[in-house]
């Protein structure tokens, strides 16, 4: 919560015993103008005894800047005036001589009400903006940020509000008012010449969002991102009741209910972990919070590869000892214990929503495979029910066992990543071939019983985990077997061959054939085709492609959408087979920075606002809009709020209307190349 400070006028100062007078706008004090290094952060610790307050550094500035060297202050108990003193040491370069400058923020410039006696400490902090150069300073308006600590004076509990309580109440009311006109930290935009900016993050700065607060009844909030540079920019508006409807409008119908949403997220590959850990601890924290915390886009799904993928720097499994059918030598690797597991634990620590982890293997150990190699055409030796298939099923259980030792439990596993890849001769990276018949029998005889008879019987099983062009055929083969079907919960799909498979002839048909099994998009990435550039920093169209896929999937009964690598380097790797792709987050470890791409914000328009348990509802279109390119989907959240996502992929602005018969009408405009998320409450 961002709080502005107040400079009292002389008349207000005289009425101090009655608490702070309501300040005029001209009296709002935006902070003492002083030279602070960009990227620095400091906090004010307010003691509860009415005595000395101190200012302490949270993140030290580089030595070449002007750090706050000493800060002290005194608080007058009778008048509530705080006097601050600080000194700065100016250093032109590390090791050079320094000059100390002293400053005083005096009684006439800034006053605070006295804090209540015996109250717990309250902490404020300021941020001075993104660092752009190692020696740059800027005259900044200090913006104070209140962290949520509540306190109470004993006199208030007796029913009387003394001067101190009135002062505190005034201070808190001011804080609340300031919240309406301020937000999270803005994007530190960088333009790499690809049509739209990226947002740069470092150890000292990263853009953030405020936690979602739903609007009052009769109002709505809108978050907008655009090719022109907006990034989840928040605005508010009110429903109308007598507005003339545009020719093109969307009408909500909550009586029509469809699938419930599982969530949105990405994959913690070895490459993602390597890139995240290549950053400083502070920058790592910003990256993890950007994805998983309330100040970020609040992912709740994480796909975890079981051992290596092409996005590893070496080929390995957890049971490479020849002929180890009992898996006595099964072991997680350093990629798990030192990389993926610590990152998953950090993500859980900052996430408000529970994370749902699901695991996918790329290949079995080579001694189990017909071709004796991790790549190329090959499947499991033998046949379902034999020692090879039992050992492979046990491999899943051992993986879940080992992660559970690190307090990481899984929502689901897939039967295997892209089983059709292992049917391709000379396939270039890890794979394990299965036909639908083979997968059906392996699940019925081996994997299903192994899960059901283990301590992981709650873990759900997902079939296919491959291109949707295989549907509905794959589902028909596997799910029409009652034994196999009894162990299965859902169907996973990838997006790479979507252009070959009309969505209504694959996903919709599969849902209607097997309505009790969820559909989940388990992998997607851009820059994967051989004719495409791998990494495009600021590629808006790649974000639009993500949102188009998500909306199309959601409108055809898919329950969630999972991106591929959480983070990659500037080349789109590392990847041992040089199968580089793009990512929503690109890391430049040489500068200790990472770039949040348009794809990141497109994903956030869904992941942050459509939590698990939301249900897609009806959205009627007044007429087909041939000259525009609006795509949309609406949801009822578990808290009763409505979410509407609107994507405009056209190069022109589009006027449209939104009608909720229970609330009113919104006149809206979707700017060219933009995505918007609307949220509002319906009457109880």
Annotated catalytic residues are 418, 523
* Helix, coil or strand: residue 6: strand
Q: How far, in Å, CA of 80 to CA of 75, rounded?
A: 6
The DSSP code sequence of 211-229 is PP-PPPTTEEEEEEEETTS
Half-sphere exposure of 598 (CA within 13 A, CB side): 30
* Contact criterion met (CB below 8 Å) for 131 and 38: yes
Q: How far, in Å, CA of 279 to CA of 135, rounded?
A: 21
Backbone dihedral angles phi then psi of residue 320, each to the nearest 5 degrees: -85, -5
Structure tokens at 71: 């800060």
Placement of tokens 């005889």 in the chain: 445
Q: How far, in Å, CA of 192 to CA of 131, rounded?
A: 18
* Contact criterion met (CB below 8 Å) for 245 and 237: no
* Contact criterion met (CB below 8 Å) for 378 and 370: yes
Residue 190: beta bridge partners? 198
Query: 52: Cβ–Cβ under 8 A, 6 or more apart, which residues?
Result: 72, 73, 74, 75
* Helix, coil or strand: residue 516: coil
Q: How far, in Å, CA of 402 to CA of 330, rounded?
A: 9
Q: How far, in Å, CA of 101 to CA of 464, rounded?
A: 67
Q: How far, in Å, CA of 449 to CA of 487, rounded?
A: 8
**8 exposure class (CB count in 10 Å sphere: 0-12, 13-18, 19+):** buried
E runs forming strands in 571-610: 585-588, 593-596
- Reading phi first (left if > 0) and then psi (alpha if -120 to 50, else beta), residue 538 is in left
**150 exposure class (CB count in 10 Å sphere: 0-12, 13-18, 19+):** exposed
Residue 90: beta bridge partners? 99
E runs forming strands in 510-557: 518-523
* Contact criterion met (CB below 8 Å) for 594 and 240: no
Under DSSP, the state recorded for 364 is -
Nearest to 422 by CA among 373, 383, 375, 355: 375
The DSSP code sequence of 648-664 is E-SSS-EEEEEEETTTE
* Contact criterion met (CB below 8 Å) for 296 and 209: yes
Nearest to 182 by CA among 141, 139, 131: 141
Handedness of CA 649, 654, 658, 664 (dihedral sign): positive
Structure tokens at 259: 């699938």
Backbone dihedral angles phi then psi of residue 243, each to the nearest 5 degrees: -75, 150
Using H for helix, E for strand and C for coil, what is the string for 293-337?
CCCCCCCCEEEEEECCCCCCCCCCCCCCCCCCCCCCCCCCCHHHH
**277 exposure class (CB count in 10 Å sphere: 0-12, 13-18, 19+):** middle
């Amino acid at each position: 919560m961002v709080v502005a400070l107040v400079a009292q006028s002389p008349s207000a100062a005289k009425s101090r015993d009655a608490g702070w007078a309501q300040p005029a706008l001209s009296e709002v004090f935006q902070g003492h103008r002083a030279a602070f290094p960009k990227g620095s952060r400091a906090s004010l610790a307010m003691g509860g005894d009415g005595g000395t307050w101190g200012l302490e550094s949270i993140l030290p500035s580089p030595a070449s800047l002007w750090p706050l060297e000493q800060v002290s202050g005194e608080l007058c108990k009778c008048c509530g005036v705080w006097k601050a003193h600080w000194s700065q040491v100016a250093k032109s370069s590390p090791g050079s001589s320094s000059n100390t400058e002293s400053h005083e923020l005096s009684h006439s410039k800034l006053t605070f009400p006295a804090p209540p006696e015996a109250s717990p400490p309250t902490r404020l902090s300021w941020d001075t903006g993104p660092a752009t150069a190692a020696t740059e300073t800027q005259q900044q308006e200090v913006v104070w940020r209140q962290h949520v600590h509540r306190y109470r004076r004993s006199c208030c509990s007796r029913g009387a509000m003394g001067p101190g309580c009135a002062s505190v109440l005034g201070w808190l009311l001011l804080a609340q008012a300031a919240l309406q006109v301020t937000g999270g930290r803005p994007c530190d935009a960088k333009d790499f010449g690809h049509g739209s900016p990226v947002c740069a993050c470092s150890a000292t700065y990263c853009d953030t969002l405020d936690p979602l607060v739903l609007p009052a009844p009769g109002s709505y909030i809108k978050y907008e991102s655009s090719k022109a540079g907006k990034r989840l920019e928040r605005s508010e508006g009110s429903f109308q009741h007598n507005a003339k409807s545009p020719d093109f409008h969307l009408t909500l119908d909550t009586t029509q209910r469809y699938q419930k949403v599982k969530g949105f997220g990405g994959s913690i590959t070895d490459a993602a972990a390597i890139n995240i850990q290549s950053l400083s601890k502070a920058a790592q924290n910003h990256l993890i919070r950007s994805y998983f915390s309330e100040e970020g886009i609040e992912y709740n799904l994480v796909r975890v590869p079981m051992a290596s993928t092409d996005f590893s720097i070496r080929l390995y499994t957890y049971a490479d000892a020849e002929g180890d059918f009992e898996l006595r030598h099964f072991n997680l690797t350093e990629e798990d214990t030192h990389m993926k597991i610590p990152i998953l634990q950090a993500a859980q620590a900052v996430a408000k929503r529970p994370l749902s982890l699901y695991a996918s293997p790329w290949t079995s150990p080579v001694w189990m495979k017909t071709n004796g190699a991790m790549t190329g055409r090959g499947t499991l030796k033998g046949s379902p029910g034999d020692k090879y298939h039992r050992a492979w099923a046990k491999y899943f259980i051992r993986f879940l066992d080992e992660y559970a030792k690190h307090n990481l439990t899984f929502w689901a596993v897939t039967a295997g990543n892209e089983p059709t890849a292992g049917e391709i001769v000379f396939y270039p990276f890890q794979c394990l071939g299965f036909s639908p018949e083979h997968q059906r029998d392996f699940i019925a005889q081996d994997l299903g019983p192994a899960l059901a008879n283990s301590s992981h019987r709650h873990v759900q099983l997902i079939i296919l985990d491959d291109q949707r062009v295989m549907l509905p055929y794959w589902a028909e083969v596997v799910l029409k077997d009652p034994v196999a079907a009894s162990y299965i919960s859902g169907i996973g799909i990838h997006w790479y061959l979507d252009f070959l498979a009309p969505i209504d002839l694959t996903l919709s048909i599969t849902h209607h054939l097997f309505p009790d099994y969820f559909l989940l998009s388990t992998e997607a990435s851009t820059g994967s085709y051989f004719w495409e550039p791998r990494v495009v920093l600021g590629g808006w169209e790649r974000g639009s492609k993500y949102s188009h896929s998500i909306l199309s999937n959601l409108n055809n009964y898919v329950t969630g959408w999972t991106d591929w690598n959480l983070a990659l380097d500037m080349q789109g790797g590392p990847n041992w087979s040089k199968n580089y792709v793009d990512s929503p987050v690109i890391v430049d470890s040489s500068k200790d920075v990472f770039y949040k791409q348009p794809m990141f914000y497109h994903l956030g328009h869904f992941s942050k606002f459509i939590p698990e348990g939301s249900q897609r509802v009806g959205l009627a279109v007044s007429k087909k809009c041939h000259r525009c390119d609006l795509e949309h989907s609406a949801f009822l959240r578990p808290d009763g709020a409505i979410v509407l996502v609107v994507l405009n992929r056209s190069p022109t602005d589009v006027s449209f209307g939104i009608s909720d018969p229970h609330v009113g009408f919104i006149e809206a405009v979707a700017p060219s190349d933009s995505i918007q998320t609307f949220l509002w409450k319906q009457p109880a």
